[in-house]
Structure 1
């Protein structure tokens, strides 16, 4: 039984690599990392090459990602010999449109994310006791209270966020110092990159996730939320 309070006190000042090493030691083959190949995730993967090179790498492939994102994940997976597992929804975008109508993300983005991200990942995570995320407290107001180690009641496993206390500047300093690849969209002010229809570049002084679901009140896809309030179509 993990003492989460004690672990969070222990790791608050620890390096991410120390947290990753602990996670691998405790959970072993029942541990996975979930990443969308954004800067923090790439830094985590780089550290894990020394700690757990065969660790399962889960990435949610919605079928709606930017072409640059697909190119980046394919490149890193090949160069670093990742144990990459593409988590896909049960329906293609065309099949989803037949049931829910065209461009579901425009009229019900919560349901679209539930169908294409949350449910597929929940199914995939049943195989693991713990998962690593790239959550950081500086990313958005919804993430300010992120714990380094927590129990996720939705997925019924342990969520580990080794970079919770890191800043965007720290991530980029590491990324550039180690000459790691990254999505070229970041050079065009796309600070947070998700599905192409729901992502835009940000303006000066906007927070890093302001370009996601622009024009709506939605701020999270639901993967890191305990409840979505979404009712799924019976079909």
Structure 2
């Protein structure tokens, strides 16, 4: 299942009734789109959503998702939490992607800077400790929650896939999200090789030197998908 096919086609038209709302029955949508191309899912979603947003951390291969969604809706608000612990390569990559895709970027930062946190608490805590939970809430969850409260989306589009970890394998394309949103993952059924091929075919810049201090390890969740 490739990403490119069907890009730009309006596969489904708006019904005139709300599709995405808190408590909506998502099982029929997941069944309907289980074999659909990511571009079809995106086109359907942006045509039916009232106020969709994207969340990204500019991790490796995230540029493919951003390229797809901005082809479907160029002005969609893109939320990025700048926790202050990104690598220099990641910050330079972000600047390139913002210019390349003309992103409508909304940057949210923690109320406490990385330098302030390091000085007071001694840097990034060890994983699976109460200190690390506090760190994650401070540098990522609070700014993200603030973004959702300010933008008030009904749909939260993201680039998660089923093959990334055990928690995500148990999700689906359309799932209930926090802040009363419906979370939509158009690339959910893809494999990593599909995304790599898309990045290569479209000659997109990728981010190879990336670190998420709230995850620490690739298979872990940072907490955004675990919030109720």
TM-score (norm 1): 0.79
Instruction: Report if the CA contact (8 A) 1:39-1:172 is conserved.
Output: no
Q: Within 1, Cα distance between the matches of 2:142 and 2:190?
A: 29
**Alignment correspondent of 1:111:** 134
Higher relative CO (Cα under 8 Å, sequence separation at least 6) belongs to: 2
The answer to whether the 8 A contact 1:130-1:160 is kept is: yes
Q: What is the CA–CA distance in structure 2 between the aligned matches of 1:67 and 1:60, rounded to whole Å? A: 16
Alignment of 1:85-164 (within 5 A): 85-97=106-118, 101-106=121-126, 108-126=131-149, 127=151, 128-152=153-177, 154-164=178-188
For structure 1, list consecutive stretches of 5 or more residues without a partner in the other structure: 201-208, 211-218, 228-235
By how many angstroms is 1:146 displaced?
Answer: 1.7
1:5-16 equivalences under 5 Å are: 5-16=27-38
Structure 1 vs Structure 2 CA RMSD: 2.0
Quote the offset at 1:95 in angstroms. Answer: 2.8
- The question of 1:35 aligning with 2:56 is answered yes
- Aligned residue for 1:230? none
Deviations 1:150-207 (A, max 9, x none): 112x32211111111111111101111111110132xxxx6xx424x9657xxxxxxx
1:1-235 alignment runs, 5 A limit:
2-28=24-50, 30-97=51-118, 101-106=121-126, 108-126=131-149, 127=151, 128-152=153-177, 154-185=178-209, 193-195=211-213, 199=216, 209-210=218-219, 219-226=220-227
Deviation per CA, 1:52-103: give whole Å up to 9, x if none.
Answer: 001111111101111111111111101221101112111112333455x211
SS at match of 1:224: helix
Aligned-partner SS, 1:111: helix
Instruction: Calculate the TM-score normalised by the size of structure 2.
Output: 0.81
Q: How many Å separate the matches in 1 of 2:101 and 2:124?
A: 35
Q: 1:52 to 1:198 in 2, by over 3 A?
A: closer
Shift of 1:104: 4.2
CA gap of 1:3–1:199, structure 2 versus 1, over 3 A, is: closer
The aligned counterpart of 1:231 is none
CA distance in 2, matches of 1:41, 1:26: 24
The answer as to whether partners of 2:60 and 2:208 remain within 8 angstroms in 1 is no
